[in-house]
């Protein structure tokens, strides 16, 4: 019951954050030019974006499989792909809860322990956050004069939810909680109670998988897959630019800037990046002295197509998972 309440609270906070940023983005903006721009979207590039999105999911599945194999498990690629699609499908509606779903679904179809897959997911996210951080740093370093106000605007938007004084409390609270966790973990390890031992074993297995995923034996394959994923993400954003008449003439390098600045919005705890990405993309267009209406149109189109594409492709993953589990249940009964 407690975990369910916690999930509801997390989802509510995510929706609140997204709603506030969406309000700040669309407040006092004329929407007629935006709808006209969206109505003139190029359907060829819209369809092409869905193909690109599926390729990204497939590459992510191959990379996740590689990380899981570092722990000695050998799941089949199609099963891993199904769990990845299912996880992103759930992430479209909840802030990051899909990571748990893809691990539990993989356990059901391949018997890979949740602790192992969860550790590999943590390693995967650590690498992606590293690349995102480096990319954001590089973009701000190159375009500092233009982008300096974006973070101030983002912090200002968050302050509407929490207030400035709470922003300084958050990192301190995280540090204190982490220290308390380490202290309590030492004491928990000495416990002889069976449920506590199970929890400790799970955490130890998860952190071992995380460690193995970070050390990486198949570094070359992992680096190639990671570079392909991030390259395809840039291509996806460039395709989104080609969808709209107002942005079709923008450069490929601008798509790189969009990826990393918009990526900050996806990293924030809002379901599907709704609101947060719209806000940051508008600030980006303003920083580059581009048409703000085009920025709003692009934000709605790119986020909307990503959401729809994830729902459609993720729905296919859900169907695959449903058929696979039904087959396993029939085999167990036979």
pLDDT-wise least confident of 94-108, 161-175, 191-205: 161-175
pLDDT tens per residue, range 71-92: 888 999 999 999 999 999 988 8
**What does pLDDT average to over the chain?**
77
Token pair 């492709």 in the structure block, residue: 313
Assigned domain for 5 exists = no
> What whole-number percentage of the chain has pLDDT above 90?
25
Assigned domain for 307 exists = yes
Q: Could you tell me how far CA 328 lies from the centroid of its own chain?
A: 30
Assigned domain for 144 exists = yes
Token pair 């990204």 in the structure block, residue: 56
Find the radius of gyration of the CA atoms of the chain.
21
Count of H-run helices and E-run strands, the chain: 13, 0
**Cα–Cα dist 259/275, whole Å:** 16
Q: Is 50 strand, coil or helix?
A: helix
Quickly state the pLDDT bin for 161 (edges 50, 70, 90): very low
Question: Is residue 252 within 8 Å of 231, Cβ to Cβ?
Answer: no
Assigned domain for 114 exists = yes
Q: Is 28 strand, coil or helix?
A: coil
Q: pTM (2 decimals)? A: 0.77
Quickly state the pLDDT bin for 141 (edges 50, 70, 90): confident
Quickly state the pLDDT bin for 296 (edges 50, 70, 90): confident
**Cα–Cα dist 272/274, whole Å:** 5
- The total of structural domains in the chain comes to 1
Q: Is 25 exposed, middle or buried (0-12, 13-18, 19+ CB in 10 A)?
A: buried
- The token pair at 76 is 């089949």
Q: Give the pLDDT mean for 275-303.
A: 81
Q: Is 193 exposed, middle or buried (0-12, 13-18, 19+ CB in 10 A)?
A: exposed
> For residue 317, what are the domain limits?
13-329
Assigned domain for 126 exists = yes
Whether residue 175 has pLDDT greater than 80: no
pLDDT tens per residue, range 207-245: 555 555 566 777 788 889 999 999 999 999 999 999 999
Quickly state the pLDDT bin for 182 (edges 50, 70, 90): low
Whether residue 327 has pLDDT greater than 90: no
Task: Write phi, then psi, for 190 (nearest 5 degrees).
Answer: -80, -10
């Amino acid at each position: 019951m407690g975990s369910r309440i916690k999930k509801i609270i997390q989802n509510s906070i995510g929706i609140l954050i997204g709603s506030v940023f969406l309000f700040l983005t669309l407040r006092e903006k004329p929407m007629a030019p935006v709808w006209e721009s969206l109505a003139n979207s190029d359907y060829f590039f819209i369809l092409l974006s869905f193909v690109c999105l599926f390729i990204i999911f497939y590459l992510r599945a191959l990379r996740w499989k590689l990380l899981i194999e570092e722990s000695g498990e050998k799941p089949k690629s199609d099963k891993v792909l199904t769990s990845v699609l299912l996880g992103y499908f759930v992430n479209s509606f909840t802030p990051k809860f899909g990571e748990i779903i893809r691990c539990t679904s993989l356990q059901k179809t391949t018997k890979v322990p949740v602790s192992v897959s969860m550790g590999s997911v943590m390693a995967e996210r650590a690498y992606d956050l590293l690349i995102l951080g480096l990319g954001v740093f590089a973009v701000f370093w190159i375009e500092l004069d233009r982008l300096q106000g974006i973070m101030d605007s983002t912090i200002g938007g968050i302050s509407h939810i929490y207030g400035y004084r709470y922003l300084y409390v958050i990192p301190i609270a995280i540090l204190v909680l982490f220290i308390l966790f380490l202290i309590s973990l030492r004491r928990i390890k000495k416990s002889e109670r069976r449920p506590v031992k199970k929890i400790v074993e799970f955490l130890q297995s998860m952190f071992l998988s995380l460690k193995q995923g970070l050390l990486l034996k198949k570094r070359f394959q992992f680096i190639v897959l990671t570079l392909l994923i991030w390259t395809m993400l840039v291509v996806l954003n460039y395709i989104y630019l080609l969808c709209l008449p107002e942005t079709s003439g923008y450069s490929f390098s601008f798509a790189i800037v969009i990826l990393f600045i918009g990526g900050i919005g996806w990293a924030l705890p809002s379901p599907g990046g709704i609101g947060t990405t719209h806000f940051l993309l508008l600030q980006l267009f303003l920083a580059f002295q581009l048409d703000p209406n085009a920025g709003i149109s692009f934000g709605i189109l790119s986020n909307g197509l990503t959401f729809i594409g994830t729902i459609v492709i993720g729905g296919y993953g859900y169907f695959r998972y449903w058929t696979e589990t039904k087959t396993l249940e029939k085999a167990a009964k036979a």
